[in-house]
Amino acid sequence: MATDTTCSDAIGAQTPLGVDRKAVALVLLALAVGGFAIGVAEFAAMSVLPDFAADLGVNAPMAGHAISTYALGVVVGAPLLAVLGARVARWKLLVGFMGLFAIGNGLSALSPSFEWMLVFRFFSGLPHGAYFGVASLVAASVVPLAYRTRAVSTTLLGLTVATLLGVPVATAVSQSFGWRWTFVGVAVLAVLTMSLIALFAPRDRVLAGASPLRELGALKRRQVWLTLGIGAVGFGGMFAVYAYLASTLKEVTGVSAQAIPWVFAVFGVGMLAGNLIGGWAADRFGMKAGAVMLIWSAIVLALFSIAAPHLWAVLIVIVLIGAGLGLGPLLQTRLMDVAGDAQTLAAAMNHSAFNTANALGPFLGGLAIAGGLGWGSTGLVGSGLALGGLAVWAWAMWDARRS
């Protein structure tokens, strides 16, 4: 990739890979488009679930297994692909991961039965975590150290924009032309990402001594596991509320079915703001920002139970809950610090932890609802999980000082 001789004042000195101001913007844009494609695929699958359930002849609860199999693919694929790609340049890995993602979503659009849909959704999930992990490493490599978390947050920016804009558009496409075209659109976005990365990503070289065995060395590091634990537990609170938000809005708040997508868009606004603010706070205050974010989440999640009967209050609270996503970029860069020479595996596993939270939060929230505590109880469950994440954060900080 061609570079200029000057750098942006905002970015500062020449970056580690010698990438200039304009080139940095193009790299980050390419990575964010990939995040947008993945976000649309992950969240739109929930919104078009009734459509493909009816077409493939299954009920809604059964169709929900397609969401679970995608998440399982993320958990399995992140470490697997990161280890297998240890001797491949990062820009080539990103192109390859997006290629797998395009194929998986294209096949999902062609699913002849629900059983095949499950297979194709699992396949589509495999490159999800590995893409974000490697994209975060590339983003951090093209800016000075003091700006790396903000750069990493841009890779997640596409994910949050997808919840705000991509999902409503995908839902409209499904309703107007059929659910299969939603997955076709995701496949097209993935191919676009491949082209952008091939054009603009820096041509990095494989590090000397890189190997699958060295990547697996990340699993021996206690700080890696503790950092993953912060996300796996702490993020569970947000998902405990998110998973049952539509039902809570309908049963407790009294919101019409037509208005529910707009409330989810408000949630997306909070996630977008939290992602940007969290990246800045992490660069400025380091891991101390993580404690603040977890305490913030514990408080606003607890308020959800009180706000649930009132629409105006719910709108305010869910924006604040969505802002808790700001913890993501911080944990991503923390893994870069503690993974040593096993960067790719550790970075990819952050999204395995994220999807573990996506399973843990709804599971515990569902137990509370089934136990007769009411739809609003998911906020209290979420608050408890955020405090659990704070406890793991405290353990990680104690262990780091002791070591």
| Exposed/middle/buried for residue 203 (C-beta within 10 Å: 0-12, 13-18, 19+) | exposed
Residues 200 and 217 in one domain: no
Residues 189 and 291 in one domain: no
What mean pLDDT do residues 73-97 have?
A: 86
Query: What domain count does the chain have?
Result: 2
278 pLDDT higher than 80:
yes
Residues 102 and 250 in one domain: no
- Contact of 118 with 65, CB cutoff 8 Å: yes
Q: What is the pLDDT of residue 328?
A: 82
Pairwise pLDDT comparison (294 vs 329), residue with the higher score = 294
385 pLDDT higher than 60:
yes
Percent of the chain with pLDDT over 90: 27
Q: What is the pLDDT of residue 223?
A: 86
208 pLDDT higher than 80:
no
In which band, very low, low, confident or very high, does the pLDDT at 56 lie, cut at 50, 70 and 90? confident
What mean pLDDT do residues 64-71 have?
A: 79
Looking at 155, 174, 208, the residue that finishes a domain is: 208
Q: What is the pLDDT of residue 218?
A: 62
In which band, very low, low, confident or very high, does the pLDDT at 217 lie, cut at 50, 70 and 90? low
Give the sign of the dihedral formed by CA 357, CA 359, CA 360, CA 365: positive
Residues 188 and 313 in one domain: no
Residues 34 and 170 in one domain: yes
What mean pLDDT do residues 115-125 have?
A: 92
What mean pLDDT do residues 19-40 have?
A: 85
What mean pLDDT do residues 133-159 have?
A: 82
Looking at 174, 208, 242, the residue that finishes a domain is: 208
What mean pLDDT do residues 278-293 have?
A: 85
Q: What is the pLDDT of residue 61?
A: 63
Domain CATH number, residue 165 = 1.20.1250.20
What mean pLDDT do residues 39-64 have?
A: 77
Residues 326 and 204 in one domain: no
Q: Structural domain of residue 261, as residue ranges? A: 211-403
What would the pLDDT profile of 219-273 be if each residue is shown by its tens digit? Answer: 677 888 899 999 999 988 888 888 788 778 888 888 887 777 778 788 888 888 8
Tokens 């001789």 -> residue: 5
Percent of the chain with pLDDT over 70: 89
